Amino acid sequence: MRLIIFGPPGAGKGTQASRISSRHGLLHISTGDMLRAAVREGTQLGRLAKSYMDKGELVPDDVVFGIIKDRITKADSKDGFMLDGFPRTIPQAKALDRMLGEEGLKIGAVISIEVDDEEVVKRISGRRVCEKCGAMYHIIFDPPKNSGYCDKCDGKLYQRDDDSEDVVRNRLRVYRKQTEPLKEYYEKTGILKVVRGTGTVEEVFSEIERILEKLN
Ligand code: AP5
Ligand code: MG
């Protein structure tokens, strides 16, 4: 199975992708997580990516596609994967289709999680992430048992650098302008599946599960 988990910032892509990955053992590939890892490591890629991410702008297509290409040609991607945060522009989508097409492969479904802008701002402003294992929380909707610390590994929780309200508003603008047109691109090939993202995490997950059942 090859899936794309699509949607605006804060829609719950990462949250749902990690559930799908636990339930189905599907490899979860997040460009945002890979770029943040490069920023933490202080590599040349990380320094370049940070200059875009801190403003809520997209990292250039060729850079992101290079990372994805390296990742999905690794042996563990052979049996399928789920892309979270990629593609984000028409050129990225076309490059992905071209690359998979050369191997006789294609994307099975694009699951678009739909959430409005005010919900995005609420979700992102309360998001906390574990610095050790990457687990995600929300101070109101999904709080950790011990405030400030991860339930799973006791790691410290932090707020992402690009989660301030002004940067989030720009990420939303960028999404509507550069990324949302991809819905039409995938609708044309009949693989776009729309999910209402405003229910609880469980409700959204059940809806995604119903879509996945029909694919199998
Ligand atoms: P990326 O890391 O991909 O960020 P994003 O798309 O802005 O999305 P988020 O990770 O913020 O949100 P999410 O949808 O994963 O929601 P989450 O599950 O965390 O990208 C960051 C940056 O990297 C980009 O701005 C860009 O600069 C660069 N980049 C990455 N990919 C790129 C690409 N392909 N091309 C170019 N540049 C790229 O949930 C959010 C919060 O809500 C959490 O606290 C969670 O607990 C809570 N929550 C989740 N679901 C629910 C629910 N149903 N009800 C209540 N709360 C919920
Ligand atoms: Mg995410």
Q: Which tokens in the block code for residue 63?
A: 């850079």
Of 2, 13, 19, 128, which residue is the catalytic one? 13
How far is 195 from 154, CA to CA, in rounded Å?
33
52 Cβ inside 6 Å of ligand 1: yes
Nearest to 162 by CA among 29, 9, 55: 55
How far is 191 from 129, CA to CA, in rounded Å?
31
| Per-residue model confidence (pLDDT) at position 215 | 87
CATH number of the domain encompassing residue 81: 3.40.50.300
CB 86 within 8 A of CB 182: no
For the chain, which ranges sit under pLDDT 50? none
Residue-wise pLDDT for 26-62, tens only, equals 999 999 999 999 999 999 999 999 999 999 999 999 9
Which of 16, 22, 35 to probe ligand 1 with, by most ligand atoms within 8 A of CB?
35
Full residue range of the structural domain in which residue 110 is found: 2-115+165-213
Number of folded domains in the chain?
1
| Per-residue model confidence (pLDDT) at position 65 | 96
Q: Which atom of ligand 1 is nearest to the CA of 85?
A: 3
Active site residue 36: no
Specify if 32 maps to a domain.
Answer: yes
| Per-residue model confidence (pLDDT) at position 99 | 95
Ligand 2 centroid, distance to 16 Cα (angstroms): 9
Q: What is the pTM of this model?
A: 0.95
Place of tokens 């945002």: 32
